[in-house]
Chain A
Amino acid sequence: MTAPIISSLGARALLFDAGGAFSLTVQERIWALARKVDGWDEVRETCPGVTNLTVVTWGPSADLEERLLETWEEVRRLPKKQVAPGRLLEIPVVYDGVDLELVSRLSGLSPAEVIARHAAPTYSAFAIGSHPGFGYLGPLDPVLEVPRRAEPRISMPAGTVSIAGAQTGVSASDGPTGWHVLGRTSLRMFVADRDPPALLAAGDRVRFVPVARP
């Protein structure tokens, strides 16, 4: 494994980057690292990214980098079964998105095949971000990989299921998106006064279940 890199995000935050190629194994250990670091007194919060972890502290912390590296060595050595997988969430999707035709054309697959291939894998939520409750899910079937739209759509409703690059996701609130829209779900991915508000946490797994038009 490559050596991790720690860099500054200001006086009270740093970015721990695992380094090296992306793999689900590395990603699982980032989530394990986050769970450990979250409990430290000087840590205000953490935010797992894709093969990296942002750590925000309450104030300056002299030995934080050292402890992070030590803890990373610990979680790296954990046997795979001790790196607890997240929950499995099934998301019902009506596949009637405005970009289904376009993705079908770009991939050379029939719309039905696009749907089948999007609904086949069990995805991992690599990270939560962009907007409250939005999960970056992957990896996508490489045949479905299409670049982002040149012009983002100004507003798509919460529940929009879309793809871009090697990722897919479900919008958690109304807003603009540069991703390609395949369908929609009635699940509410983020409700501020629900506990927890976000349906997805980093490390959770997701399956899309095609359902008929309501």
Chain B
Amino acid sequence: MRWHRQILLVAVLFGAVICRAGTANDYFKVGLEMSGAGQLPEAAMAFEKSAQMQPASGTLVNLGIAEWRRGRAGAAILAWEKARWIDPFDSRAGADLKFARTAAQVDEPELKWFETASTWLPPNAWAWLAGASLWLAVGLLVLPGIFRRRKAGWHSPLAALAFGIFLFTLTANVGVVSRTQIGFVLKKNAPLLLTPTRTGEVISTLTAGEPARQLRSRGNFLFIRTQTESGWIGRDAFGLVGD
């Protein structure tokens, strides 16, 4: 009886995952059709829903293309950055970003060394690698003793290597966390305000697609630092890569 319940639960969960994937795929297909028909706002909406249900770099690349074609450079750059976040090896996202930044005349975000290192692999991969390397090092050091086996000559060097990899993945994981605060200006000529208020004094206006780091938030405003200045921006005018 107990086994039956467990099998049923697993079946339900599996079904839910399949349904979810099915819906995400449906939205993706709708997005492609709409994009082909030139209905770009609808296409962007469909791709966005698909990406929300099942984040995938391909969906995000298509979302970026739809946004770019409808003249929303900021949203397009954010979508392609998200695609690269999920899959750093996606060459289409990289090429699109390069083209968009040249056309919109905006810079790439400035990354610190550990953030640059974190872009070499997808964020999840760094977490898995950290876990695996740590357990490998611990296993190599502890398991021979537990199983009363003699330590081979390669055990210690391999454990040291695994521990070294673990230490490196720690910095990369810090980079991943730090990169979640990087975002992009979504709206054209978005005002950068001195105070987090609707009538705040405008320090300057930002270009769509300009990178910035979110430092803190208050109400409907985010305090961001661009490469040249800092100030408050409305939540609706700024999108984080890590969201």
Task: Decide whether A and B assemble into one complex.
Answer: no
- Give the A-binding residues of B (Cβ under 8 A): none
